[in-house]
Amino acid sequence: MSDTDSRQQEQHELQVVRIGHANGTSSDNPSLDTTPKLSKRNSSERSLPLRSYSKWSPVEQGATLVWRDLCVYTNVGSGRGMKRIINNSTGAVQPGSLMALMGASGSGKTTLMSTLGYRQPAGTVVQGDILINGRRVGPFMHRISGYVYQDDLFIGALTVLEHLNFMAHLRLDRRVSSEERRLIIKELLERTGLLSASHTRIGSGDDEKVLSGGERKRLAFAVELLNNPVILFCDEPTTGLDSYSAQQLVATLHELAQKGTTILCTIHQPSSQLFDNFNNVMLLADGRVAFTGSPQHALSFFADHGYYCPEAYNPADFLIGVLATDPGYEQASQRSAQHLCDQFAVSSAAKQRDMLVNLEIHMAQTGNFPYDTELDSFRGVAWYKRFHVVWLRATLTLLRDPTIQWMRFLQKMAMAIIIGACFAGTTELTQLGVQAVQGTLFIMISENTYHPMYSVLNVFPQGFPLFMRETRSGLYSTAQYYVANILAMLPGMIIEPLLFVVICYWLTGLRATFYAFSITAICVVLVMNVATACGCFFSTAFNSVPLAMAYLVPLDYIIMITSGIFIKISSLPAAFYWTQFISWMLYANEAMTIAQWSGVENITCFGESADLPCFHTGQDVLDKYSFVESNLYRNLLAIVGIYFGFHLLGYYFLWRRARKI
């Protein structure tokens, strides 16, 4: 037989398999008519064309996803090695199918689906074959597929329209015009029923007007439908929804499937009405496949092995209950579930499934057609446009969250007034005035060090889950995310200390020269920015805010002790002499002290003795603290260097964490 005749025969066999699954018939199942009937919407209601094997084009021909002998292992941690979650799973999903992955908790539903969608966590070991239209899955799955997660992660400060607009800029081809992008978003809003809520903020739950749970789920679907995926993965899409919202959502999935989209969902305890919408189900037990086929065949298969679904009983609850582990009867439950898995492995339904899977793998091994023609036609967004979108989103978040920015402005101005009122009239050119000036400078430095440092500890941990989800989808890189967030904070990090200096400097009556004021303002701005950079470093280096604070406090003491106000720097012990080089408070204190006392020659001294010498000039003050006037610009450059050093460390640890998870 020639290769052409062989392929035609295999394609004919594939057509037979499709017709068998669509009509829900099997010659080896004589007991079908004796089982409970479901008024299902099956795939026979639509005509799917036979896929051509002359080219790889899931967009034109639909996506056929198959997997064979799939094993998935995850690291359980604490040196206990790897645990097998999925055990020799084999299956197939064809265009136009709406398949439900079902099983008891811990059966491996989410692990299987995330692996099929090429979204498994880092460190997961995958063995076996996973192919889509004959090609092994890879990073391209992020472009041709959609993945709706169980937990909806959004930035609450954005509106529905803004969120979709940002996602459209990141996901769509860069050749899509602004008008086309607007029409795509409008169509999605209409399809998902969110048009009336397009200008409503997504919210975080504490706001007065936010999206409901069902609206948030529909928004998640709208985002995944932006690039018109050929295959859609949904992890527990009905969790947290009322029965009406769940029914509407599954009906939407059914409509998408009728248009040729391949849909795979994990679902937990669906109602009978929801269960009726699925064309196929895959039942899992301890990582093994207990059944694959139509819901009717599932009930028939279980009935053939002694498990009859009572009348007026939810079929989904019955199927899951049979495979679940009963407390107190764990071993017996597991044995019965494994027996069903063994029986299905030798059933006619498994043979039909294997025929399709083996055909797809055979065509992948013998076919000779270009894979990347369709993928190469996509033109992603330029890096600078991705960066602009991420930066703009972070900026809007800061502007709309009063606890992040506006309250800090008010707090900083209030502190400036309080400090200014305390030191007003004390900073004269006298012996007591020297102490008052140095105290004022230290308070200005410490006020712009500790509060900014601790206030940003939660910035990256709070947004880390969303960051991980979007970077895994290839929307932007770690560097773009980190730099965009820092630049979004930068205007506030400049305006806030400037407001503080303008109020505090003149109220306290410090040296009234433009040079002294400018150096003081520059130092305070740099101090706030380097303190924020230090906080960003600790927020990315540790998994939690309490842990970051535990390590940050000792550093604070080192920075404060070596600021030059508590101990003469030249008298530091040799073992701790190095600590002065990482103290930005020392560099700022020295620079601001130089600006206040450089060139001063007339400090008043009312009485001087050998035990209590007087400061006669500004140079005497500098010598007291081991400060050198020529170090002014060196100090400013040192602060800038520490600033970039902390941010480089912060980026490195964020990148390192992103790789591990």
Higher pLDDT, 16 or 335: 335
Q: Express as a percent the part of the chain with pLDDT over 90.
A: 51
Burial 228-252, CB ≥16 within 10 A → b, else e: ebbbbbbbbbbeebeeebbbebbeb
- Is it the case that residue 453 has pLDDT exceeding 60? yes
| 353 plus 398 within the same structural domain | no
| 456 plus 590 within the same structural domain | yes
Residue 48 within any structural domain of the chain: no
Q: Which of 366, 395, 418 is the last residue of a domain?
A: 366
Burial 177-216, CB ≥16 within 10 A → b, else e: eeeebeebbeebbebbebeebeebbbbeeeeeebbeebbb
Mean per-residue pLDDT over the chain, rounded: 85
pLDDT-derived band at 77, boundaries 50, 70, 90: low
Q: Which of 335, 366, 397 is the last residue of a domain?
A: 366
pLDDT-derived band at 128, boundaries 50, 70, 90: very high
- Is it the case that residue 30 has pLDDT exceeding 50? no
- Is it the case that residue 470 has pLDDT exceeding 60? yes
pLDDT-derived band at 86, boundaries 50, 70, 90: very high
Average pLDDT over residues 614-625: 88
Average pLDDT over residues 338-362: 91
Higher pLDDT, 406 or 108: 108
| 501 plus 540 within the same structural domain | yes
Higher pLDDT, 467 or 401: 467
Average pLDDT over residues 10-37: 39
pLDDT-derived band at 292, boundaries 50, 70, 90: very high
Residue 199 within any structural domain of the chain: no
Q: What is the pLDDT of residue 48?
A: 46
- Is it the case that residue 50 has pLDDT exceeding 70? no
Residue 23 within any structural domain of the chain: no
Residue 186 within any structural domain of the chain: no
pLDDT-derived band at 208, boundaries 50, 70, 90: low
Least confident of 47-51, 134-138, 143-147: 47-51
| 434 plus 530 within the same structural domain | yes
Q: What is the pLDDT of residue 193?
A: 87
Residue 258 within any structural domain of the chain: yes
| 315 plus 390 within the same structural domain | no
Domain count, the chain: 2
| 405 plus 336 within the same structural domain | no
Average pLDDT over residues 170-181: 91
Q: Residue 339 belongs to a domain with what CATH number?
A: 3.40.50.300
pLDDT-derived band at 522, boundaries 50, 70, 90: very high
| 397 plus 506 within the same structural domain | yes
Residue keyed to tokens 């899955």? 137
Q: What is the pLDDT of residue 32?
A: 38
Is the dihedral angle over the CA atoms 345, 351, 353, 356 positive or is it negative? Answer: positive
Residue 166 within any structural domain of the chain: no
Q: Which of 366, 392, 427 is the last residue of a domain?
A: 366
Torsion of CA 244, 246, 250, 251, to 10 degrees: 10
Q: Can you give the residue range of the structural domain that contains 267?
A: 65-152+228-366
| 135 plus 238 within the same structural domain | yes
Residue 24 within any structural domain of the chain: no
Q: What is the pLDDT of residue 33?
A: 42
Residue 16 within any structural domain of the chain: no
CA distance 247 to 267: 13
